[in-house]
Amino acid sequence: MLACAQAVDWDQTRVKALAAAQRQDYPEAMALFRQLWADGREDIELAAAAQDLGTVLHYLGQEREAGVWLARGVEHWQKVAGNPQRLPQNMLQLGVVYRRLGDYGAAERMLRDALAMPQIGVETRVKTINALADLVRDQGHVTEVRQLLSQTIGTLGLSWSVQIDSLMGIAGLERETGSAQESVARWREALELARTNQSVAYEAVCLRGLGDALLETHEVAQAMPLLRRSVYLLESIDSPEPTQREIFQLANSRRSLAEAELMDRKPLEAEELAQRAIDDVVKASLETHPQAAALFDTLSEAQAARGRLAPALEALQRAEAILVTHFGDQSTIAIATAAKKGVLEERAGHSEEAVRDLRAAITRIGRDRADLMRTRLRLLEYYAAALEATHRKQQAKAVRAEIKTSAVE
């Protein structure tokens, strides 16, 4: 009888905790979830309490503590008989938190393990695929991104937010693989869905994605107002203590706007935007996070465009150092970033240095890295230009012949 009464009390407390979370009274919700953890006796109770508390902390951007509780949730769900569906859901949440914390190895293992669970539901499966695709995209593994996202196409019965996430993933992939028009179409579809459901945050992200896709086709005039609108919407979100996700969303929109300003030949404005994005990230102590590398990369391009080669190379080195720390010096994205040194030198008119560093980068990539072939072709173009600028016309001619042959292949 006592155990039965305790179980009833536990259930009633959980109802109150969930209701508090639903009405966004997070302090009360967290206090009740902690009480549920303290009062839990069975693994299923401990697992539910830990996951629910971790979910609230994750929503509030308190990622480190969220990771602790979500890990406890996974531990106890694994002890519950009958393959509970909440186990892969919990693993997905923990994988996302690990990524936010910059632990990409742990995030990847957790997400792949979740996908392998036989009890994973349809929507959780698609969410996990989207999260894993984002993770491997950050590392430059475009081929696997395509393989993953192709599994989500045509899935029925998904919530609107998951539909947007899938569309954004496919749209980003299309842009990165050179299918800009297809990317634009996907982003417009996602944007319409965000507006239909009155989501300011999703609208801002979709506007940025659409703007980035338009920049790929050099439609700067169309992209610029979309990117400015994206920055404005994210700045207008009232968050006294912005979460890590919110900080990077705004920083990435400023970075995209900086890229547009660069294409519009306004390097000063571009540098200011990139620096402001970095300042926000530094203020939140996130400057070594993998997602910060792209901000330093854009800053370097803006500084180089202003003829400030020394600080540009320093910013590029910071981007490379972040990527090497997290993914290793042989990772696709670290090599591609390091290779930009010669590009910046060539643009700045430092042709001899460019010849030296571009040759080294091309040699490092070699001919067998399929994941870096587009980068290699781009470097060869700059290498040929640097050779011509240093009066090595025969060598430049040979390089251009190689470019032509490689493009046909």
- In order of their start, the domains of the chain are 1-135 (1.25.40.10), 161-232 (1.25.40.10), 287-338 (no CATH), 349-409 (no CATH)
Regarding predicted confidence, which is higher, 254 or 3? 254
**CA-CA distances (angstroms) from residue 104 to 220, 317, 318?**
34, 21, 19
What pLDDT is stored for residue 262 in this prediction?
96
- Band of the pLDDT at 349, cuts 50, 70, 90? confident
Distance separating alpha carbons of residues 228 and 215, to the nearest angstrom? 14
pLDDT tens profile 28-70: 999 999 999 999 989 999 999 999 999 999 988 899 999 999 9
Q: Is 112 exposed, middle or buried (0-12, 13-18, 19+ CB in 10 A)?
A: middle
The sign of the CA dihedral 335, 171, 92, 85 is negative
> Which DSSP string do the residues of 321-377 spell out, in sequence order?
HHHHHHH-TTSHHHHHHHTHHHHHHHHTT-HHHHHHHHHHHHHHH-S--GGGHHHHH
The rounded percent of the chain whose pLDDT value lies above 90 is 67
- Distance, first Cα to last Cα, the chain: 76
For residues 270 and 302, the answer to whether their CB atoms sit within 8 Å is yes
Mean of pLDDT over the chain: 91
